[in-house]
Structure 1
Amino acid sequence: MSFRPAGFRPAVFGYAVALAFALTVSVVTAQDAKPATAASAAAPAAAGAAEHAAAPATEATAAVKPGDAAAGAGKAAACGACHGMDGNSSDSQYPKLAGQHESYIVRQVADFKSGKRANPVMMAMSATLSEQDVHDVGAYFATKTSLPGVADEALVEHGQTLYRQGDPTRGIPACMACHSIDGRGNPGAMYPQLTSQHAQYIEATLKAWHDGTSWGDDAHAKIMPGIAQKLDAKDITALASYIEGLHAAESGAAAPATP
């Protein structure tokens, strides 16, 4: 049996070309398919990883909500013994919390819990509160109004000068730069409301800062000790008295801190 060379070569050559083309297409198709397959397989894994990574953030966000004043009313009952049920303490050694910003109260309680701010009573009380409790209590007191106090007329001029102008020659900034012209503070920066605060509490706090007491080691906590150390005893007494008499009129304008 023999093949005719002239007929065999074209046929073989044609089959070879067809086979080569088919193999080439198969290889290219396979190569194109592999990344797609890998990508398809990786997509669920990536999505699962993303969901897993996002889960803690979602849980953390859901764990603590903005303070609920209604819920805080009941939780604040224990605070009333010292600070007054409406946040207006009758004992001037305890600060008024009425009208105080939620953000500031939350920060201070957190500092008591961590021991950054030392006070045996508050450290014990704060230990029983959850983070949500603190936000609720803060929201409750923020809805209350601080009752106006009275300044010593003899101290008003000195106190007002320091509060509104500071003393650049001694590097003392104006208090209102952070606490506002009427003492309402700045909740975003966690600068507290000072309006109508007890002079005794303000004086004791400024003296403690002056003598080296600190409520933490971060930059925010170092602001007031650094300023208080530049004040003398007369400055502190005048400022404390002026702040107690500082309050805003119903129209919103700052009222004179006078008796």
Structure 2
Amino acid sequence: MNRLGKCLKVFESAIASGLIASLFMMAGQASAADQGAPAKPDVARGQVIAAQVCAACHAADGNSTGGAYPKLAGQHADYLVKQLKDFKPQPGGKPAARANPIMAGFAAALSDQDMINVAAWFASQTPKPGYARDAKTVPFGQSIWRGGIADKGVPACAACHGPTGQGIPIQYPRLSGQWSEYIVAQLNAFQQGTRNNNDPMRTIAHRLSDDEIKAVADYAAGLH
């Protein structure tokens, strides 16, 4: 069974056993005195959610084992919270900004506090380094990352994601060490309209060729 099938099986099993509902009800409970106060992350509860729900695809510490699922270890907590919210349908009956049936199911079971907790857990974990796989395209990918493509109106990736791929919380994720396959998939999703939660990235992705996407994704995977 492939990893997608395993994740679906985990989700179906969790639904059938009532695990998700009971787990997230526990994680989201707050005293009346805390209501209305600024939400603070509970990393311990986030670890429970990660271990029992997220681990099948992302690993318990957020270092997923393959490019079908992103590494979440060391990712900005605010960015992770935003992405989880974007998997849910938007107000007014609008579709989710990110179309993903598996993540939609998990996100639907999460309260805002659950999202904060699990995001804090993954953000606190140490990401395992990645590497570029194609030495021939590294100079090309590097030129796009550092300088963009002027004649196509593509800005330098480093302008938002940083010279070493550390990103900017909420808007732009950490990409250093991320699986190149996952980066390629997300740029393709921006092109195809299945991911609509960042207008600048939608515009940039439409201006990139397949070869440019692969080169800059492979370069980002090797950043540290």
- Normalising TM by the smaller chain, what interval? 0.7 to 0.9
Report the Cα distance in structure 1 between the residues aligned to 2:186 and 2:44, rounded to whole angstroms.
31
Superposed displacement of residue 127, structure 1: 1.1
1:167 aligns with 2:149: yes
- Structure 2 regions of 5+ residues with no counterpart? 1-32, 90-95
Q: Could you list the runs of 5+ residues in structure 1 that have no partner in the other structure?
A: 1-57, 248-259
1:143 to 124, 127, 133: 124
Residue 70 of structure 2 aligns with an amino acid whose one-letter code is: P
Distance in structure 1 (CA, Å) of the matches to 2:83 and 2:120:
14
Please tell me whether residue 179 in structure 1 is matched to residue 188 in structure 2: no
TM-score with structure 1 length normalisation? 0.68
Structure showing greater relative contact order (alpha-carbon pairs closer than 8 Å, 6 or more residues apart): 2
| Aligned with residue 210 of structure 2, among 228, 233, 237 | 233
Which amino acid is 2:61 matched to?
Answer: D
Cα distance between partner residues in 2 of 1:68 and 1:173: 38
- Give the match for residue 243 of structure 1: 220
3-state SS of paired residue (2:211): helix
Q: Which amino acid aligns with 2:46?
A: G
1:122 to 90, 100, 103: 103
Following the alignment from structure 2 to structure 1, what is the Cα–Cα distance between the partners of residues 85 and 193? Answer: 21
The structure with the larger Rg is 1
Partner of 1:252: none
TM-score w.r.t. length of structure 2 = 0.78
User: Quick one: which amino acid aligns to residue 148 of structure 2?
Assistant: G
**1:108 counterpart residue number:** 83
Retained in 2: the 8 A contact 1:95–1:201?
A: yes
Counterpart in 2 of 1:93? 68
CA distance in 1, matches of 2:162, 2:199: 19
Task: Quickly say closer, same or farther: Cα 1:212–1:124, change in 2 above 3 A.
Answer: closer
Matched position secondary structure for 1:61 = coil
Question: Does the CA contact (< 8 Å) of 2:186 and 2:195 recur in 1?
Answer: no
Q: Distance in 1 between matches of 2:58 and 2:155?
A: 30
Give the Cα–Cα distance (whole angstroms) in 1 for the partners of residues 192 and 101 of structure 2.
19
Once the two structures are superposed, the pairs formed by residues 1-259 of structure 1 within 5 Å of their partners are 61-62=36-37, 65-77=39-51, 78-114=53-89, 115-151=96-132, 152-187=134-169, 189-216=170-197, 221-247=198-224
The answer for the alignment partner of 2:14 in structure 1 is none
